[in-house]
Amino acid sequence: MAPHAQQEAKKRKHADHGDNVASKKSRMTVLNATPSSEFSAFSEVSIRLYIHLAPMWVSKPIEGINEQLNAFLMKYIPEVDGVVVAHSGLRLETADGRVMYDCPFSHFFIRVKLLVWKPNKGEKLAGKINLQSPDHIGLLIYGTFNASIPREHISQTHFEWRAAAEEEQEKESGDEENSSEEAEKQYEYTKSEFGEWVLKATGQGVGQNDGVLEFSVVNLVSANDILTVTGALLSPPTTKDTTSTEEAAPKSSSTKDKSHKEKKDKKEKKKSKKEKS
């Protein structure tokens, strides 16, 4: 091969390699991450991203950049360790892009903020039950993210599987066949036709009436741009005991009244002594 041809082939290989690297998102650098709140699984992540912009976007580069950023939405991105929900605050680092060799694409860096859903192990989350079986409980978090609580992570001390009676199974299976509207609302909570997980102490279903269940995160699995949460149900839901607070309030009030009365009596005694003298 002639030296000139070899040089051109090397240039094309370099340009193709650059495009492949960008497509694999390896040109993304995380600058900082800030949790939206102490008890939230959402974080705002600032990133620096190397963009390859096609010639068709030369007159409207912002639209072209947004088009590339939109490809990240609702996908698990390893560099930010979470699912990108939204992007904002787009800023170009340079006014002009670079055109390298014979590649017509413009190359430049941008900075942008990503809203990322990135729960952590041990964190508490709440999801809506969409499936129950003796093997696991399936949930949807925010009607979008999948979560599963396998049987081995459900405390057998506090919870048990209660199978439905045969009459209930026949009735519910008949309702499913005749109701197309309910089939469209897949995320809406309905008790399983085969049974449900209940609290041993009360016999109440874990989903109660609205189907919302709080659980602890024990594992996170990412595959094919999807993040799946594995949870644990270790203890029954707790309610705050406000009895002591309610009882303490009248006592403190009566104490104040008593001290006020004592002060008033002392003043009256002093006044009567002065009048006698």
What is residue 66's predicted lDDT score, i.e. its pLDDT? 97
Domain 14-117 has CATH 3.30.1490.120: yes
Cα distances (Å, whole numbers) of residue 173 to 98, 160, 166, 216:
63, 23, 11, 32
pLDDT tens across 143-180, in order?
Answer: 999 999 999 999 999 999 998 876 555 555 555 555 44
Q: pLDDT tens digits for 88-119? A: 999 999 988 899 888 999 999 999 999 999 99
The CATH number of 124-232, from 3.40.30.10, 2.40.33.10, 2.40.50.1060, 2.60.40.1180, is 2.40.50.1060
Equal fold, 14-117 vs 124-232: no
H or E stretch at 33: strand 28-35
pLDDT tens-place string over residues 27-66: 899 999 888 776 689 999 999 999 999 999 999 999 999 9
Burial bucket for residue 102 (CB in 10 Å: 0-12, 13-18, 19+): exposed
pLDDT at res. 24: 41
The domain limits of the chain are: 14-117, 124-232
